Amino acid sequence: MREQRVLILGGTGGMGLATAKTLSANNFEVVIAGRNKEKLISASKALGDHSSFSVFDASNESELKSALIQHRGVDHIIVAISANANARGINNTLEMEARKAFERFWTSYNVLHLAPEYMNRNGSVTLLSGSSAKTPLRGYGVWGTLHGSINALVKQAAIDIAPIRVNAVSPGGIGINTDRQLTEHKGQVEDIADMIYAVIKNPAVTATIIDVDGGERLGTWNG
């Protein structure tokens, strides 16, 4: 699959970089994107010869469009950007911080809006949501709402921009204390990368939300 090109927005972050490593190791041409050129250069060197980087702000619609024009015909797009917002529950999060969190939703929306014009019609867009959409939890109201909106976006966009496939991978807690898991496994970024790889290489998967959370808050194991 050397001819398959993947653009990873947020490619230097934990999940984005782990996904870049997994896809590069499986013969994809990987382009990692972000705003920090130094981080992109370092990450691209670590990925090897079949990777490159692109510097732009994915939350800026015009910059995103220019990047998609530059990478016209890309096969897969993965949105792995972080929100960088100090958001908590709806009762104690100011609108300004909630809007900052929702930049991830609007970036995802803009990718899906532009995808039919600039990417391979037999390709895919994969978004990241989160387990708080599945099981609401006090103190995570903004995140649960954000992740739920991303999941809803996937379901509708998969219809609106078909035959491009649209899916979401929904991680549980990564690098934090486990919360009543069903499996004795603490979530790792590599778990998410492996699932994204499985999703984008399978042409029969679309309009799907895939939980990768070890059954978070459904069991009894707390580590």
Residue 185 CB burial class (10 angstroms; 0-12, 13-18, ≥19): middle
Residue 13 lies in a domain: yes
0.85 exceeded by the pTM? yes
Residue 80 belongs to domain spanning: 5-212
Residue 57 lies in a domain: yes
Spell out, as residue ranges, where the chain has pLDDT lower than 50: 1-2
3-state DSSP: the chain helix, strand, coil percent, rounded to 5? 45, 20, 35
CB 72 within 8 A of CB 117: no
Identify any residues that bridge with 221 across adjacent strands, giving them in sequence order: 181
Candidates 78, 168, 160, 156; CA nearest to 123 is 78
- What is the pLDDT, as a whole number, of residue 2? 47
Tokens of 178: 């486990």
Residue 219 lies in a domain: no
Residue 22 lies in a domain: yes
Diameter over CA atoms, the chain: 49
- What is the pLDDT, as a whole number, of residue 33? 98
Residue 185 lies in a domain: yes
Residue 69 lies in a domain: yes
- Specify the residue for token string 């994969």: 126
Please state the φ and ψ torsions of residue 205, each to the nearest 5 degrees: -105, 115
Residue 90 lies in a domain: yes
Which 8-state DSSP code applies to residue 132? G
SS3 134: coil
- How far apart CA 192 and CA 195 sit, in angstroms, is 5
Q: What is the CATH number of the domain that holds 142?
A: 3.40.50.720
Number of domains into which the chain is organized = 1
- How far apart CA 16 and CA 34 sit, in angstroms, is 10
Which 8-state DSSP code applies to residue 181? B
Task: Give the chain's mean pLDDT.
Answer: 95
Residue 25 lies in a domain: yes
